[in-house]
Amino acid sequence: MGKRGGGRGRGFGRGRGGGGRGGGQRSMRTNYEDVAKTNEFYEKYYNELGLANGAEHEEFWSALKRELPNSFRFTGSKGQALPVQQLLKDRYIPEITSIEHNGELVEPPNAIPWFPDQLAWQMTTPKNVVRKFSPFKSFQQFLVSETSVGNISRQEVVSMIPPLLMDVKPGMTVLDMCAAPGSKAAQLIEMVHGGEEARTRKVIRRMKIEQGREVSPEGPLTEQQMQEEEDDGDWSDDGRTTGLVIANDADYRRSHMLIHQMKRLNSPNLIVTNHDATMFPSIRLPSDTDSKGVQRTNHYLKFDRILADVPCSGDGTCRKNVNVWKDWNPSNALGLFSTQLRILVRALQMLKVGGRVVYSTCSMNPVENEAVIAAAIDRCGGTSKVDIIDCKDALPNMKRHNGLSDWKVMDKQGRIWPSWQEVETERMSSGNEGLGKLSEQMFPPSDTEQSIPLDRCMRVYAHQQDTGSFFISVLEKKTEIKARPEAPAKEVQPQAQQPSIVSAVNQIESIPTNGTNPVEKIDALDDIAPPTENGDTEGVTAAARQNKEVAPSAAVTGTKRELDEEADALMSTKRPKFREEVDDPAPQGAEDRQIHWPPPPGAQLEASRPETIQTLPAPPPPLSNTNNALKKNKQPYEEPFKYLDSSQEDLQSIYNFYALSSRFPRDRFMVRNALGHPAKTIYYTSSLARSILETNANSGIKFVHCGVKMFVKQDVQAAFVCPWRIQSEGLPILEAWVGEERVVRLTSRKILRTLLVEMFPKVDGEGWKGLGEIGERVRDIGMGCCVLRIEKAEGEDGFSERMVLPLWRSLHSLNLMLPKEERKAMLLRLFNEDTPLEDHSKDRFHTGNAQQKIKKSPDEGVEAAAKLDGNTSEDEDGGGVSIVVGNDEKDVGAAGLGDEVKAAEALGDDAGKEDDVVPASMADEVAAESTEEVVRMEE
């Protein structure tokens, strides 16, 4: 949903340009029914606007005062999501529909009728009923289990709408300007990867047939998708998607929470950045030749689709955010208008001609919605340049209202103004009190030759389908634009000498307040001494005014390229270098410069003046302390992205050990350390992601994440064993290209259950005989990582669809490289059981040298026991050993583990390893954010 945030930190908000959830701190323990659902200004304003008249009026307010139903979405590719969805339909819905309460059948969860493939669901059953009947307990266990492994995401229904209206196709470049916490960005990633699984399977099948190799049978769902995939799709990279999603957030901590959520999707086509969305920097592309054969040296990325889900007052979320009823006031929307407008204009500047921007908020206020749309179109040259797409035929089963063409504006004193002319008249006669934040652009546009079709915007209200309230507008860029500079507010009051400081203070002190909000007196100063045209204007936020005072001088920053005429006049001293829609050469010396002053208000500013900031990138801190090193803006140091040469020694050993097909790309492997050496983790990215990261390496753009973990280094028991194991998140990308030498094939449900329940079953001696059809294969296969391919087979003991899991063959045993929560989720999904796991490695804690070491040190005992089976991995600096049980280092614990290890445990799978820049101090916050949805489900 639109992020609630902005302003001076009052009301609902914090932050600017994306990245403030605002709304105060929501307590999960607050009883919604006990909160008074009344707010004089809130009800007065929306009744005056007449958002729902006649018979709808009572339904409108009644719905807003009811608690919001739970909703969730099945995530990932169709091959992942549809089987989990089918399980809900076949196993849990029939159990729930048989429940009677007070003589009536309980309503089960229902699919959202307008969401494609019924992958979104809503449940309206009261909590007292859910707690009373056991089928709901099983259903909740299913939700929590699948959420923990990323197959289900708790997401508000209206929040799912904007991505569906973007019409994203595989191969497109997409930007989410205000992405945290990541639910919409996850939808965009799924769309960019649409059909990829079917395409790659078709390519692999064709390749194997050409090579005369065995072709594995596909399940019916995969076969259907392969038949549906069109030949004119995204085939240029052997079926792998060539598109890209850039997910941005202005708040550094929330950008890392975004990473933690998005990692579930395992996409090499994702980049996460940390910038103020109002000043999102232009991203340079490598030099190339255009369609006319002309060499382009200054070539910048333009996006096919952009989502601007902007910070907003959030007054449409009152069904889940009780603070709306307590704290709503008109200043919230008035203070956010300028920020929202700048984000939308910046989005239109970065958009390709023919591309779409989807603008959305979770507010009902036209000042944040239709007024922003109208002002942005006007600044960009009118509807001949940017137009609103009519989406009345999109999502046909979804109820909605048209956008408003006429509205009124409420000032911070609660007075409602029908027109800007009346505001000007009041200012002339009575002064500026209470009117300081109002501007002409907040009112409906006057009649012009090119009227803006605001009725094509979309409003969704709570009573229409039992959801929150939301606003969405889809804009199309029809031609290149030159955005008009942001106009200063008109000064209509008679010019008078500004009061002295002493007199101003006396007037402020004489103004009665409620004594609880110190910001009231700050607002009073704006009324007593309003900004003039020569000073700050009404449209500039407090943070921007503060930063303007300390912006770097020309002498400090050196030669700058003149800003294009579309640059916001009020931001001209502090914007980063923006490239216009036409790729033209930059002046000498300015090509690689990016000016990043001021930093986003969400970041802590350095106490020193900007004159002390160097224009060249500072050298990286020592490698031994990169996780704790801070940049000058107090943000943790981000390790650089260094791509490996395809002939690098470690990569060569990987190619040989896994018999990796030569058709798999070998120029996209990356590490994150200043030396560019694969010390512990090797990542994989898409080709376009590599081009962007390398071309903009020294530009000042703040990249905080890219790439999927493909290989992780661990201790091995023989020199001929490859120490690089395939990471589970990279396995779906790589598995089809691994040679038969490292593949184990399985068709039996019984044996898979054994591997899920038993951790480290013995293979040496007679142990392999207990593993059925794979016994001889795992007995004879060499030590190291291998791929377990679970293939389709007929009969009750077979599987209807193929699966792939990572397997580790050690000296004495075998182990699925899966975290415990994923093992439990698969047991519940495939076998409908919650069987306790059996860890056979613990049997060796009390034998041999390990037993002796346990008496000396708990840490040494755990290390020794794990080394007996060869399941350890060395830390990046070589100074320690971490236990590898499952797919990460968190499933075996011991007394004496340090705070950093505990932080990694809190974060989950593979967090805190090598170069995941998540400081230990952030661990609790990230863990709390990522588990919040699970807690809500358990309640």
- Which residues are the active-site residues? 362
632, 596 contact by CB (below 8 A): no
Q: How many helices (H) and strands (E) does the chain have?
A: 30, 35
At 737, list the tokens.
Answer: 């290209």
246 SS3 class: strand
Q: Which amino acid is at 436?
A: G
At 95, list the tokens.
Answer: 């159990």
Cα 566 from chain centroid? Answer: 30
455, 445 contact by CB (below 8 A): no
Residue 658, C-beta contacts closer than 8 angstroms, at least 6 positions apart: 722, 726, 734, 738, 739, 741, 742
Residue 776, C-beta contacts closer than 8 angstroms, at least 6 positions apart: 768
Task: Pick left, alpha or beta for residue 22 (phi over 0 → left; psi -120 to 50 → alpha; otherwise beta).
Answer: left
From CA 662, how far away is CA 648, in angstroms rounded? 15
CB atoms within 10 A of CB 6: 33
Residue 642, C-beta contacts closer than 8 angstroms, at least 6 positions apart: 670, 671, 672, 673, 674, 675, 676
**Token pair 């002002």: residue:** 375
CB atoms within 10 A of CB 930: 21
At 653, list the tokens.
Answer: 């050993």
Report long-range pairs for 226-233 (Cβ below 8 Å, ≥24 apart): 226/198, 226/201, 226/202, 228/198, 229/195, 229/198, 229/199, 229/202, 233/170, 233/195, 233/199
376 burial (CB, 10 Å; 0-12 / 13-18 / 19+) is: buried
Torsion of CA 417, 418, 419, 421, to 10 degrees: -60
Strands 409-410 and 416-417: antiparallel
Q: Which of 525, 546, 521, 550 is nearest to 536 (CA)?
A: 546
Cα 683 from chain centroid? Answer: 19
Strands 838-839 and 803-809: unpaired
From CA 468, how far away is CA 462, in angstroms rounded? 5
Q: Which of 187, 193, 186 is nearest to 172 (CA)?
A: 193
Q: What is each CA distance from 99 to 104, 132, 325, 412, 939, in whole angstroms?
A: 8, 10, 35, 51, 20
From CA 150, how far away is CA 908, in angstroms rounded? 12
Torsion of CA 259, 264, 268, 272, to 10 degrees: -10
At 82, list the tokens.
Answer: 């549809």
Torsion of CA 16, 18, 20, 23, to 10 degrees: 100
Query: Which residues on adjacent β-strands are paired with residue 119?
Result: none
Torsion of CA 214, 220, 221, 223, to 10 degrees: 50
Task: Tell me the residue ranges of DSSP E strands in 654-766.
Answer: 669-671, 681-684, 703-706, 708-713, 724-726, 743-746, 758-759
DSSP for 857-903 reads -HHHHHHHHHHHHT-EEE-TTSS-EEE-BTTBS-SS--TT--HHHHH
From CA 631, how far away is CA 618, in angstroms rounded? 9
